[in-house]
Structure 1
Amino acid sequence: MTDVDSARRVAPDATGSRRAWFGLAVLLLPVLLVSMDVSVLFLALPTMTADLDPTAAEQLWILDIYGFLIAGLLITMGNLGDRIGRRNILLVGAAVFGIASTVAAFAPSPEVLIGARALMGIGGATLLPSSLALISNLFPDSKQRAAAIGIWTAFFAGGSAVGPIIGGLLLHQFWWGSVFLINVPVVLILLAVGPFVLPEHRSGVRGPIDLPSVALSIGGILPLVYGIKQIAAEGFELSAALIGLIGIAVLVLFVRRQTRIPDPLVDLSLFRRVRFSIAIGSGVTGMMSLAAMSYLTSIYLQSVTGREPLPAALLGLPMAVTVFLFSMYGGRIGTWFGVQRAFAFALISAAVGNLLLLGMGVDGGLVWYIIGSMVAGIGYGISFTLISEVSVASVPPERAGSAVGISETSFELGNALGLALLGSLAALVFRSGGEFADTLGETIVRSGSNAGVLHAARESFVTGMHVATSAGAAVLLAMAAVVWWTGRGKR
C-alpha cells in the first residue's frame, strides 16, 4: 500500500469537500505570512533604523537575508517535505517562523534582528512548497485542485501587495516591531488547527535526501542571488560579479550530480515536459518584469509625484485586486483555452500593461499607471496560477514538493534578475541624464530647493523607468512567442 493511501487512512475525511476547503483556508495562513514579510519591512525601515542605528551594510542584510534563505532553501525543503511529511515540515516551519518573528519584534540590536530574519527565511522556505503540495492531497479532483491553487496563488500575490498597507496601519499606531509580532497569532492558529484538518503525506519509495546535492543547491543559489542583488543595489562590482559566477559554477556541478545519482534532489527530466518548462520560463520572466515594475513605480509614486508611503501603497490596490481575481480563475482559463494558449495570452497581457506605463510622466499620467498595472495584473494573475498548477500536476504525487520548490525558486530568481538587470538599466539611463547622484532620492536631498535640478532628475528617472519597463515587456513578448510556437495545434 502506498503512503498516499496510508495518509488518507490517517485522515479519512481530509479530502472530503467541506473539510478540504477548511484545510485550504488553514493553508492560506502561512502563504499570507511569507508573502507579506517580503514587503512589510519597507515601511518600518526608517523607524527601525532610528531605534537600532544599523550600519548601511546591516540595513541591507536586514532586508535581504530573509529572501536569500528562502531562495536558497526552497528546493531542499520541498524535497524534505516529500520525505518526512509535508504536514510535519509545515508545522515545524511555522513554529520556527513564529519564534523568529517574536525575537525580531523585540530585537535589541541589528545583529539579533539579522539572525531573527534569517530564521524567518528558514521557516518561510518550509511553508511555501509544503502548503502548495498539500493541496494535491486535499483535492484529488483536478477541477477542485485547479480552483484551490488559484485561491492559493491569489492570496500569495495579494499578501505581497497588502504588506505595505498593513505595515503602514500598524506603524501609525505601534512601534516597528509590530510588523513582526502580528505573525505570532496567525502561527498559533495554524499550529492549533493544522494537525486536525491537514492530511499527512510522505513518499515511502524514495531514498534518503542527498546531502551533497543540498550543499551544492544552497551553495549555488545563494551566491548567484547575492551577486545579482548586490549589482542591482551598488552597480557593477567585480567582487559581486565573481560571487555570482561562483554561484553559477556550483549550480553547474549541482546539475551534473543530478544526472548521475539514482534519486536526485531535482528531477531534470521534468524539463523535458513542455508545459513544465514553459511554467518555469514564465515564472522567471513574469517575476522579472513584475519586480522591476513594482520597484520603479513605487519610487515614481513617492519621489516623482511626492506622495507619502501609505497613499502610494494604496494606489497599488487596483492591481492587487486584479491579480487576486484573475489568479482565482487562472486554472479555469487554462482549461477553456488550453494551458499554452492561456500562458501566451497572460504573458502578452502583462507586456501590454508594462507598455501602457509609457503614458506616465513627471507632471501627470497617474491614470496610465492604474490602467497599465491592472492590465498587467490580469496577465500576472493568470500566469502565476498556471505556473503553480502545472508544477503540481506535471509530477507524480510523491514529487510534488520538489516540483513546487523548483517553481517557487524560479519566482525568487526572476525577482532578483528583475531588480538587478532592469533596475540597473533604469539607473543607467537615469544617471546618463545629467550630473545626478546614484539614486533619485539622494539627488532630491542634495539638490535642496533647486527646482531645475529636481525637474531634470525626475524627468531622467521617468525616462529610465520607461526604458526598463519596455525591456521587461520585450522579455515577456519573447517568452509568449516561445510559448505560442511550442503550443501550435495543441490544447
Structure 2
Amino acid sequence: MPAGISERRAWVGLGVLTLPVILVSMDFSVLYLAMPTISRSLHPSATQELWILDVYGFLIAGLLITMGNLGDRIGRRKILLTGAAVFGAASVAAAFAPSAAALIAARALMGVGGATLLPASLALIANMFPRSDVRARAIGVWSAAFAGGAAIGPVVGGALLHHYWWGVVFLINIPVLAALFLLAPFVLPEYRMPATHPFDVLGVVLSLLGILPLVYAVKSAASHGLSVGNVLLGAAGIALLVVFFAHQKRAPAPLVNLSLFANATFSVCIAVALVGMMAQGGMSYLINVYLQSVQDFDVLNAALAGLPMAVTVAAFSIGASRVAAWIGVRRALSLGVALAAAGNLGLLALNVTSPLWVFLVLTAVTGIGYGLQFALVTDAVVGSVPPQHAGAASGISETSFELGTALGLALFGSLATAVFLSRGDGRFADSLGATLDLADGGAGSALAAAAKEAFVDGMHAAALAGGLALAILSVVVALVMRDRT
C-alpha cells in the first residue's frame, strides 16, 4: 500500500469509489423508463427526445480522455469530487427542469461531471492498490459496480416511477453523492503527476472535434439509418481524429501516449473493449425489444429478466482475478471472450415462443464471459502503464467502451433492421413497434405474427455477426497477447 494508506482504508476507499460508478452507469439506462412520462410533461420534439437520451453519453465519450489526463495533473481526488459536485448540481437541475431545452442542458452537464468520475476512480485504484494481484480484485469490484448500476437502473427507476414524478430518477443521485463527499476526504488519497509541460489544450480540442461528431454520426445512423449527413459527419470525425493522432506524435505532453499501443497486451485489451462492447451494446438493445415487443413483457418485467446476466457479470468481474491466477491472464481473457461469443451465438436458438428460462440461461452464460473480459481488460490497461499515467490510460479504455457501445447499436442494430425490413415485402413500418401499431397491437393478426418472426430473424443475424466477431477475437487474444502473472 502507498505510504500512509492501510489495507483496510484502501478497501473502504474502494467501497466509496463504487458509489459514483454505480450512479454513472445507472444514468445510462434509467432514463429510458422515464421518457414516456417526461414526454407527457415537457412535450419535447422528436429531436429533443433524442438529445435528452443521448447528450449524456456524447459528453462522457468525448471527455473521458481529457478528464483522465486532467485528473493526473491537478489531483485525482480533487477532480473526482469536482465532477461529483457538477454531477449532483446537474441532477437537481434535471429533476426540476421546466422545459425540454433545460433538461437537455442539465443532461449535458451531467455528462461533463460523469466523464470525470470513471477515469478518476480507476486511477485512484491504481494508487491505492499497487500490488497487481490485489489491484486485479479491486478492479473486479469496480467492474461489478458498473455492471450492477446498469442492471438495477431500470428496476429502481421503474419502482420509483410507479409512485413518484419523473424527476425522482435524478434526485436519487443526491444522497449517494452526499455519502461520497462525507467519506472521500477521509479514505481516498490524493495523487497528482508532476507536470513539466503545459497541458495539451490543442489535443483536447482535436479529440472533442473528432470523437463527438463520430459518436453522433454512429448513433444517428443507428436511430435513423444511413444518410448523406451522418456519413459526412462521421467522415469528418475520423479525419479530425487522424489529425489528433498526428498531433499526439509531436506533442511534448500528449493526451494519448501512442507508444502504449506497441504493448501487445494494451492493444489487444483495447480491441476487446471495443468489440466486446459492440456485441453487448447491439444485443442489449435487441433483446430488450425481443422481451417487450415479441414476448410481450412490460418494461419492469423485462428489466427483471435482465438481472441473471447482471448477476453473472458482477460475480465473474469480482472473480476474474482468481480465474486469471488459476489459468493465466491470457487464457482467462480468451475464455471470457469465447464465452461471450457462445452466449451470442446461443441466441440463435430463441424464437417467438421460446420459454423464458432459455433466454435466462443463454444471457447468464454471456454474462460470465463479459464479466471476465471487462474486469481483465480494465486491469490489464491500468496495470500496463506507470501509476502516474493511470488516469490517461483508463480514459482511453473507457472511451473504447463508449465508442464500442455506439458502434454496436449502429452496426448490429442496422443489420437487424435490414433483415427485418427485407422479410416484410413492403408491409412493415420502420420498426417492430411501429408495425405492431399498424396491426393495432393484435398479437393474433397475420401482420403482427409476421413482424415478430421477421424481428427474430434480424436478431439472429446480429447475434451471428457479433458471435463470430467475438470468436475470432478470442483466437487473436490467445495467439497475440503475452501472458501476465
Range into which the TM-score falls when normalised by the shorter chain: over 0.9
Whole-angstrom distance in 2 between the partners of 1:89 and 1:212: 21
Checking the alignment, whether the CA contact within 8 Å between 2:317 and 2:371 is kept in structure 1 is: yes
Deviations 1:19-58 (A, max 9, x none): 1111111100000000000000000000110000000000
- The aligned length equals 481
User: In 2, distance between residues paired with 1:90 and 1:358?
Assistant: 43
**Residues 368-447 of structure 1 correspond to what in structure 2 (within 5 A)?**
368-434=358-424, 435-447=427-439
Q: Does the residue aligned with 2:242 lie in a helix, a strand or coil? A: helix
Q: 1:328 matched to which residue of 2?
A: 318
Please tell me the residue identity of whatever aligns with 1:383.
Q
Following superposition of structure 1 onto structure 2, how do residues 65-214 of structure 1 map, counting pairs within 5 Å? 65-214=55-204
Write out per-residue CA displacement over residues 341-373 of structure 1, whole angstroms, 9 at most, x where no aligned residue.
111111110000011111111122422211110
* Equivalent runs, 1:270-349 vs 2, <5 Å: 270-349=260-339
| Contact 1:341 1:484 (8 Å CA) reproduced | yes
Give 1:207 shift. Answer: 2.1
Q: Is the 8 A contact 2:16 2:183 kept in 1?
A: yes
Asked if 1 retains the 8 angstrom alpha-carbon contact of 2:330 and 2:483, the reply is no
Per-residue deviation at 1:427?
0.4
**SS of match in other structure, 1:140:** coil
Answer yes or no: is the 8 Å Cα contact 2:58–2:212 preserved in 1: yes
Find the residue that maps to 1:329 and give its secondary structure. Answer: helix
- In the other structure, the counterpart of 2:460 is 466
Q: Deviations over 1:223-252 (max 9, x none)?
A: 000000000000111101100110000000
Q: For 1:15-34, what aligned pairs fall within 5 Å after superposition?
A: 15-34=5-24
Q: In 1, distance between residues paired with 2:55 and 2:81? A: 22
Give every structure 1 segment of 4 or more consecutive aligned residues whose post-TM-superposition deviation is greater than 3 Å: 487-491
CA contact (8 A) 2:197 2:252 kept: no
For residue 130 of structure 2, give the secondary structure of its aligned residue in structure 1: coil
- Conservation of the 8 A alpha-carbon contact between 1:270 and 1:276: yes
> Residues 489 and 193 (structure 1 numbering): CA distance in 2 closer, same or farther, change over 3 Å?
closer
Q: 1:419 & 1:250 partners in 2: Cα distance?
A: 23
**CA shift for structure 1 position 461:** 0.2
Are residues 1:453 and 2:443 paired?
no
* Structure 1 match to 2:213: 223
> What is the distance in 1 between the residues matched to 2:339 and 2:310?
15
Contact residue 25 and residue 146 of structure 2 kept, 8 A? yes
- SS of corresponding position for 1:157: helix
CA offsets, 1:126-172, max 9 Å, x none?
Answer: 00000011011111222221111100000101111111001001101
Q: Distance in 1 between matches of 2:151 and 2:470?
A: 21
The question of 1:37 aligning with 2:27 is answered yes
**8 Å CA contact 1:359, 1:365 repeated in 2:** no
**Aligned partners of 2:202 and 2:311: how far apart in 1?**
43
Residue number in structure 2 paired with 1:58: 48
The question of 1:261 aligning with 2:215 is answered no
Higher mean displacement: 39-48 or 139-148: 139-148
Task: Kindly state the Cα deviation for residue 487 of structure 1 after the two structures are TM-superposed.
Answer: 3.9
Mapped to 2, the partners of 1:424 and 1:336 lie a distance apart of: 40
Q: 2:421 is matched by which residue type in structure 1?
A: R
1:476 alignment partner in structure 2: 470
Alpha-carbon distance, 1:431 to partner: 0.6
Per the normalisation by structure 2, the TM-score is: 0.97
How far off its partner does 1:309 sit? 0.2
Is contact 1:146–1:332 with CA below 8 Å preserved after alignment?
no
Question: How far does residue 124 in structure 1 lie from its aligned partner after superposition?
Answer: 0.2
